[in-house]
Structure formats: C-alpha cells, structure tokens
C-alpha cells in the first residue's frame, strides 16, 4: 500500500498575478476576507462582518436546474444604495450617432477595414464611449436579438471614475489589440488578444488597459496605445458550450479551460470616492452617480459570473477523409434560440489546424448562401478564404477588420483563393496557421449602422470585386442538343 500523501489540485490557476477558478457552469465560491462567506445557508440574519446579502439572477427563479444561473453576493453596501438614474443623450455611445432602430437592411456582401480612429481623437475615448455599433437585430425590450460592436479606446475608465452595466444583454468581448484589465463586481480578469471574456447581463464592470505586459500575437502594444476589438451582445439568454453529439464527451472548448475571477474588493481607503455608473436599458443610456465604489463584494458563491477563455486552447475536430465540413465544427460558445439547434448567436473560431482531406477535396470554404447571417472578424494574420488579406499589403480582410454576409447573401472564397486551391495537388496534409479568424453566426438577418454603410474610410467599398475574376465554366464545343441525352454516370467518380 502506498504511504504517499494524496495530492489534491485545487481547481484554481494563476495568471498575470491573478487567481482564477476553473470550469464552466459549475458552482463557484470565493471570499477575499477569510470567514466572509456564510456557510450552510444563503441569507443569514447575522452576516459575517455586517455585510449585506444580495442575490443577482441571470435566469428566472424557476428556470430548469441545468439552465438556472444566479449568484449570491456579500457586499459592504447593497447595490440599491447607488443613486437614481438620469438619462444620457443617445449619442455618441452605442450608436456612433445611430439609434439601433435606424439600422438598415444589408443585402450585399460587406467588408470593413479596422475602424479608423485617428491617434489623438482615439485616445479620448474610453471603452464605453469608444463603442461603435456595427450591426443589430431584434429588440432588447422583447429579449430577442443581438448587437455587434467594435470598440477602441485610449483612456481608462478608472481615470474617469466610470463603470458600466448592461441591462439588455450578456456581453462577449474579444480584444484584437491591447490586453484588457477588466474589473467586475465578482473580481478582476486580465484578458489578452486571442482570449475572450463574457460579462453576464447586469454585472457592473470597468475596462482599462492592462499595465503589465500585453500578450498575444500582436507584440509591442504598449499600455497607452489604442486598444481595440469586437463585442457581441445577446439580448436573450447567455452563452453556453455547444452540444457535442457523436464527437463524444471531449473536444472543442473544454469546460476546465474557462477561468472565473475570485472575489476582489476595493481597499477601504478608496471605497468612498464618487463615481458614475453608466447603465444601458432598452438601448437607452443612463448615468447613476454613486458615493462609493461598486467593487465592494467581499465574498460570493454561485454560477453567474464573468469568465474568460483562451481561444488557443480550442481542440478542433475536422474531416480526415474528404470534403470541407460546415464551420459549426468550430463552435466555441453558443446562445441558443427556442428552436433546437438554431442559434441566436454562435461564436465560431477558425483556428490554426491541419488540413488532412484527400487530393480531390477543395480545401478552402465552398461558395454558399446561408440562411444564417455571418459576421466575421480577424484577430491576426490572414484568413484562408481570402488571399487578398493580411500581410500582403493589399488591404482586403485585415486584422481588426470585419465582414458581413447577411442571411442568404452569396459569398465564398475570393477568385485568387479559388484558383490557387483548384491548382493545389493536395497530395499531403498541411498545417494551416496563417492567422486567427472568428465568426458570429445568427439566425436573424442583421441590420447595419448607416454610418458603417456610408463611411468610405471604414467600409471596403470594392469588396465584391474579389469575386469578379471567377470565369464561366467553359463548354465550348459541347453539343447542348444531344450531349446530355443518354449519358451515364461512372459509379465511383471521386
Ligand atoms: O464564409 C466564411 O468564410 C465562413 C465559412 C467558413 C467555412 O469553412 C465554411 C462556411 C463558412 O460560412
Ligand atoms: Fe460563409
């Protein structure tokens, strides 16, 4: 019999000097002052240290157990002590001068360069005022739909003493350039490019530049540079891991790679400082002034918490025989609609991977028209369906850029990619690692911010030219009258 002491690995990890709790969907608990978290019950009359108990729910009380999300917060003062709200002018936040209801239908394939923020002007924005609505569907008042934004900022929210809370939706933020220091009621997360962070509906948070070393594939991004990236807001429900079906119980994004913060409370000396909480409700912005910090949660337990995930941990599955499969195999997170298998929003990754299909498979994506709308972004490098992209200096689909192929809108590989792929003998598997692209896919047709349609410095107005060199299949000499009559098909013509 072994006499060795068994090792128990606590399910926490350390990164950038912070501790995170691992998993997704499990019940977490954390206290930043020992003894602050009540044991054995949720709302004792005598709370340790005289803290106040507050429950924050993310689903209806009666939602099925598997979907039910809520967190118990033990805080210095309850959230209701924050002052009354005053409405703010609609502009410039969230709309970039555009009411989501004023967004326009888009029927052509669309592509954008990174949002042009000129140096000095860009620095003036913080995360909230630097949000630019790009596309939108549905209505937060009906809890149906989503919105897609770009963000860019040079100013820290902490320097303005501002915080943000979204009553409308769960937020998924993907930095493309510049690491983020995200402070939330439940704790702090450092988020680097190639990671994503999810902020549940109703959680107060603040986004600042990370003052440590900015990581990710874009080296040398200094803390004072403009940070930029993408943000997806779902008006209904929240994100969860996709079902795996016949893939089995492992693969794609593994639950243990999701990192949740530990309780983090502002020091007593910094607590009573006036600040402003910007709140969004039904696409309208409000300002609430507070005499104290919202980061006063000393302990919490539950399963409704922000989290981050490193996209480089994604375990991709693909065809190892023939044919290019549907991109749903790369789903990281999904926000389902009532219709089983149909997403309000899928977050899909195109990770570095081996292409191992046989010699008679066209390796890039096929031409297609999809009932779902496809919004794409590029985190670094280039994307395999677009030769005219990335580092060749020719513009096209570049890091920080984006594209939209709305419901049923035709698209596919550009002409240069197609010609190159047909000529490729595909006689061996290849490692495809030229970049990292992602897609937000939704069953709703999207409407576009009119500015995003008209701003010629932002929109890539020549996008559709990339398909114009696809020449017609050549049937010269074919007898159209008699040619097809009575022809038989070879049985196995692969
Ligand atoms: O349009 C795109 O580039 C995204 C995409 C990629 C793919 O491999 C298959 C289908 C698809 O929509
Ligand atoms: Fe597509």
- Domain shared by 253 and 166, yes or no: yes
- List the catalytic residue out of 136, 324, 339, 405: 324
Residue 303 per-residue DSSP state: S
* pLDDT above 80 (res 97): no
**Model pLDDT for residues 288-341, shown as the tens digit of each residue:** 999 999 999 999 999 999 999 999 999 999 999 999 999 999 999 999 999 989
How many domains does the chain contain in total? 2
Which residue CA neighbors atom 1 of ligand 1 most closely?
A: 412
Domain check: are 352 and 268 in the same one? no
Mutate to test the pocket of ligand 1, among 365, 372, 441, 442 (most ligand atoms within 8 A of CB): 365
407 in a structural domain: yes
Note the pLDDT of residue 102.
86
- Is 215 inside any structural domain? yes
- Report the nearest atom of ligand 1 relative to the CA of 411: 1
Of 311, 344, 373, the position where a domain reaches its end is 311
Label residues 286-304 b or e (16+ Cβ within 10 Å = b): bebebebbbbbbbbbbbbb
Q: Is the pLDDT of residue 355 over 80?
A: yes
| Inside any domain, residue 378 | yes
Q: Which residues line ligand 1 at a C-beta cut-off of 6 Å?
A: 327, 365, 368, 370, 374, 385, 405, 411, 439
List binding-site positions: 368, 374, 383, 411
Ligand nearest to the CA of 323: 1
Pair 19, 132 in one domain: yes
- The C-alpha R_g of the chain, in whole angstroms, comes to 25
Instruction: Give 48's DSSP letter.
Output: G
Substitution candidate for ligand 1 out of 357, 439, 440 with most atoms within 8 A of CB: 439
Q: What is the pLDDT of residues 401-412, one digit of tens each?
A: 999 999 999 999
Q: Are 348 and 393 part of one and the same domain?
A: yes
pLDDT attached to residue 221: 53
379 close to 217: Cβ distance less than 8 angstroms: yes
pTM summary value? 0.95
**269 shares its domain with 381:** no
Please check whether residues 368 and 292 belong to one and the same domain.
no
For residue 112, being part of any structural domain is answered with no
Residues 263 and 321 in one domain: no
Do 193 and 266 lie in one domain? The reply is yes
User: Is residue 437 within 8 Å of 379, Cβ to Cβ?
Assistant: yes
113 is catalytic: no
Residues 359 and 291 in one domain: no
The verdict on 282 and 335 lying in the same domain is no
Cα–Cα distance for residue pair 467/460, rounded to 1 Å: 14
For residue 164, give both structure tokens.
């943000």
Does ipTM exceed 0.95? Answer: yes
Residue 1 lies in a domain: no
- Residue 420 clears pLDDT 80, i.e. is over it: yes
Domain CATH code at residue 177: 2.60.120.10
Rounded distance between C-alpha atoms, residue 484 and residue 482, angstroms? 6
> Would you say residue 488 lies in a domain?
no
Is 80 exceeded by the pLDDT of residue 4?
A: no
Atom of ligand 1 nearest to the CA of 385: 3
Give me the domain span that covers residue 453: 316-467
Atom of ligand 1 nearest to the CA of 370: 12
Distance in angstroms (rounded) separating the CA atoms of residues 272 and 267? 10
Residue 386 forms part of a structural domain = yes
Last residue within a domain, chosen from 259, 278, 311: 311
Helix (H, G, I), strand (E, B) or coil at 335: strand
Please check whether residues 238 and 321 belong to one and the same domain.
Answer: no
Asked whether residue 96 carries a pLDDT value surpassing 90, the answer given is no
| Distance from residue 370's CA to the centre of ligand 1 (Å) | 9
| Most ligand 1 atoms within 8 A of CB, residue of 325, 385, 414, 441 to mutate | 385
Q: Are residues 125 and 194 in the same domain?
A: yes
């Amino acid at each position: 019999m072994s006499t060795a002491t068994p090792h128990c690995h606590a399910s926490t990890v350390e990164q950038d000097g912070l501790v995170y709790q691992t998993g997704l969907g499990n019940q977490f608990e954390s206290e930043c002052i020992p003894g602050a978290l009540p044991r054995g019950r949720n709302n004792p009359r005598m709370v340790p240290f005289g803290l106040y108990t507050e429950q924050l729910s993310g689903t209806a009380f009666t939602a099925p157990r598997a979907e039910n999300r809520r967190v118990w917060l033990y805080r210095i003062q309850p959230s209701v002590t924050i002052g009354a709200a005053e409405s703010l002018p609609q502009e410039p936040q969230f709309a970039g001068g555009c009411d989501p209801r004023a967004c326009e239908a888009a029927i052509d394939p669309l592509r954008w360069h990174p949002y042009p923020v000129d140096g000095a002007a860009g620095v003036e924005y913080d995360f909230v005022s630097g949000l630019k609505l790009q596309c939108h569907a549905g209505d937060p008042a009906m809890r149906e739909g989503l919105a897609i934004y770009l963000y860019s900022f040079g100013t820290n929210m902490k320097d303005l003493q501002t915080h943000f809370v979204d009553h409308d939706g769960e937020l998924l933020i993907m930095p493309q350039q510049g690491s983020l220091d995200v402070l939330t009621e439940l704790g702090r997360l450092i988020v680097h490019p190639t990671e994503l962070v999810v902020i549940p509906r109703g959680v107060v948070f603040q986004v600042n530049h990370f003052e440590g070393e900015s990581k990710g594939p874009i080296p040398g991004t200094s803390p004072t540079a403009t940070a930029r990236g993408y943000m997806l807001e779902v008006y209904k429900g929240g994100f969860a891991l996709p079902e795996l079906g016949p893939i089995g119980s492992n693969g794609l994004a593994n639950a243990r790679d999701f990192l949740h913060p530990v309780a983090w409370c502002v020091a007593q000396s910094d607590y009573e400082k006036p600040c402003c909480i910007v709140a969004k409700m039904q696409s309208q912005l409000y300002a609430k002034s507070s005499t104290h910090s919202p980061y006063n949660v000393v302990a919490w337990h539950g399963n409704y918490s922000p989290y981050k995930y490193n996209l480089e941990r994604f375990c991709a599955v693909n065809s190892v025989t023939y044919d290019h499969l549907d991109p749903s195999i790369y789903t990281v997170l999904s926000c389902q609609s009532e219709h089983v298998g149909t997403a309000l929003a899928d977050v899909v990754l195109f990770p570095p991977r081996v292409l191992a299909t046989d010699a008679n498979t066209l390796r890039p994506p096929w031409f297609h028209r999809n009932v779902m709308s496809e919004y794409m972004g590029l985190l670094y490098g280039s994307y395999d369906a677009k030769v005219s992209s990335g580092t060749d200096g020719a513009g096209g689909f570049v890091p920080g850029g984006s594209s939209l192929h709305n419901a049923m809108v035709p698209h596919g590989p550009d002409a240069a990619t197609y010609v190159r792929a047909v000529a490729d003998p595909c006689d061996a598997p290849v490692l495809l690692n030229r970049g990292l692209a992602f897609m937000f896919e939704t069953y709703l047709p999207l409407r576009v911010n009119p500015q995003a349609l008209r701003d010629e410095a932002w929109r890539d107005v020549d996008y559709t030219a990339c398909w114009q060199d696809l020449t017609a299949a050549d049937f010269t000499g074919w007898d159209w009258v008699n040619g097809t009559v009575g022809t038989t098909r070879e049985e196995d013509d692969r």
